[in-house]
Amino acid sequence: MTSKIYDCLVVGGGPAGLTAAATLVRLRRSAVVFDSKAYRNAGAHAMHMVPGFDHADPKDFRKIAREQLLSRYKTIEFQEGNVVSAAQVELGDDTGAAFELRDENGRTWRGKKVILATGSIDVMPEDIEGYKENWPHHIYQCPFCDGLEDSGHSVGILGFPSPMYQTYGFAGLRFDDRVIIFMNGDSPSDEPTFGALRTLEALGARVEKRRVRRIIDNGPGPANGISVELEGGEKVRCGMMFHHPRTVNRANNLFDQLGIERAPVNEAMEIGGEVALKDQFNQTSVKGIFAAGDTTTPYKSVAQAISSGNIAAVGACMTLAMEEGAKALAAKS
């Protein structure tokens, strides 16, 4: 066990964790960032909507952020590898309640506060042959992230389970006028979803009702794109495809161990289950543990992760300062 008690243990070295670190160091708070190097956008080679890093490789963003932190600030450390367990501990000295994390090498780390910036996993649907082979270079989960560069090539939308899929249609029609909605044998079960589908049809989208048998990778780039094989054997070519796989928290095991409350799951919409936030500083249901990034919201983006990483770290800094102030006052009286 390291004898050091850090001000904050940050789990996650993506945009949320890196921003939390960049915030903690500004008040000279000691922190260690744990990074198992399992990033949600690992398969993406260009990220968008991040000013200063538009179309940059996410790897470069992380590398530069880390280098800047290590070269400018003395209170930050990075540790590679998985945090495998987490617990609340009572240190019994002046520190009081704290947290203990164990890494995959059996080392334990103690901190007064914790920021969980552990991200999400996209769960690849098992029932559609060829899906995971086309993710994420032909199948895109977010039309603001990917799609524009493939403009002028036909757009597929896989399924239409909720009115939220209207966004894919609206965006797809900005990229090309050939938008095909592959219903995959289903039909909308409620009026809002029907309405969304009708609106897209009115705008020129085509609805294909047959079941999808498999998705074939025709080669790199939208000019090759994919072929969607339908029941009966017909193949429909698309330059790109939009679909939202279900996401789950990458560190649900740690959340369970710590007893952290999650948001309700909406099975029909395939959303929910993220960490429930309890105050404006992203504190979780466990006092002293803050959360940031994809694991806290269904709206998952780098800008959101940066913003919430900052908020969580400000919360951790403020809480530490308030506790130190209260102790000083108590000592005086």
Ligand X SMILES: Cc1cc2nc3c(=O)[nH]c(=O)nc-3n(C[C@H](O)[C@H](O)[C@H](O)COP(=O)(O)OP(=O)(O)OC[C@H]3O[C@@H](n4cnc5c(N)ncnc54)[C@H](O)[C@@H]3O)c2cc1C
Instruction: Provide the total of helices (H) and of strands (E) in the chain, helices listed first.
Output: 7, 19
φ, ψ of residue 321 to 5 degrees: the values are -65, -45
Q: Report the SS3 class of residue 106.
A: coil
Residues constituting the chain: 333
- d(CA 85, CA 131) in angstroms, rounded, equals 33
Question: In this structure, what DSSP letter does residue 264 have?
Answer: P
The first and second tokens of residue 135, run together, are 């993710």
E strand residue ranges, the chain:
5-11, 31-35, 76-80, 83-90, 97-103, 108-116, 120-123, 139-140, 155-158, 179-182, 206-208, 212-217, 226-230, 235-238, 240-242, 246-249, 265-266, 271-272, 289-291
Q: Find the binder of ligand X among 26, 43, 54, 220 (CB under 6 A).
A: 43
The first and second tokens of residue 161, run together, are 């389970």
Q: Find the binder of ligand X among 305, 312, 317, 320 (CB under 6 A).
A: 305
Would you count residue 45 as binding ligand X (CB under 6 A)? Answer: no
- d(CA 24, CA 313) in angstroms, rounded, equals 6
**Binding-residue pattern over the window 77 to 96 for ligand X, x denoting contact by CB under 6 A:** -----xx-------------
Would you count residue 148 as binding ligand X (CB under 6 A)? Answer: no
Q: Tell the smallest beta-carbon distance from residue 56 to ligand X (Å).
A: 10
Q: Find the binder of ligand X among 9, 14, 165, 179 (CB under 6 A).
A: 14
Instruction: State which residue, 118 or 166, has the beta carbon closest to ligand X.
Output: 118
Q: Find the binder of ligand X among 36, 75, 193, 282 (CB under 6 A).
A: 36
Would you count residue 41 as binding ligand X (CB under 6 A)? Answer: yes
Would you count residue 294 as binding ligand X (CB under 6 A)? Answer: yes
Q: Find the binder of ligand X among 38, 64, 164, 276 (CB under 6 A).
A: 38
Segment contacting ligand X by CB under 6 A, of 40-48, 213-221, 233-241, 262-270 = 40-48
Would you count residue 115 as binding ligand X (CB under 6 A)? Answer: no
Would you count residue 143 as binding ligand X (CB under 6 A)? Answer: no
The residues pairing with 251 across neighbouring beta strands, listed in sequence order, are none
Which class for 173: exposed (0-12), middle (13-18), buried (19 or more C-beta within 10 A)? Answer: middle
Instruction: State which residue, 143 or 159, has the beta carbon closest to ligand X.
Output: 143
Site for ligand X in 252-271 (CB under 6 A): 254
Q: Find the binder of ligand X among 1, 89, 303, 322 (CB under 6 A).
A: 303
Element (DSSP H or E) covering residue 292: none
Nearest to 64 by CA among 115, 121, 25, 13: 13
Total Cβ atoms within 10 A of residue 216: 17
Segment contacting ligand X by CB under 6 A, of 44-52, 150-158, 278-286, 319-327 = 44-52
Would you count residue 287 as binding ligand X (CB under 6 A)? Answer: no
Q: Find the binder of ligand X among 9, 17, 244, 291 (CB under 6 A).
A: 17
Alpha helices, DSSP H only, in 54-190?
A: 58-72, 166-175
Q: Tell the smallest beta-carbon distance from residue 167 to ligand X (Å).
A: 15
Instruction: State which residue, 29 or 40, has the beta carbon closest to ligand X.
Output: 40
Segment contacting ligand X by CB under 6 A, of 116-124, 158-166, 212-220, 270-278 = 116-124
Q: Tell the smallest beta-carbon distance from residue 175 to ligand X (Å).
A: 15
- d(CA 59, CA 39) in angstroms, rounded, equals 10
Would you count residue 154 as binding ligand X (CB under 6 A)? Answer: no
- How many chain residues interact with ligand X (CB under 6 A)? 40
Residues lying near ligand X in the complex (CB under 6 A) are found at: 11-17, 34-41, 43-44, 47-50, 82-83, 117-119, 122, 136, 141, 145, 250-251, 254, 293-294, 300-303, 305
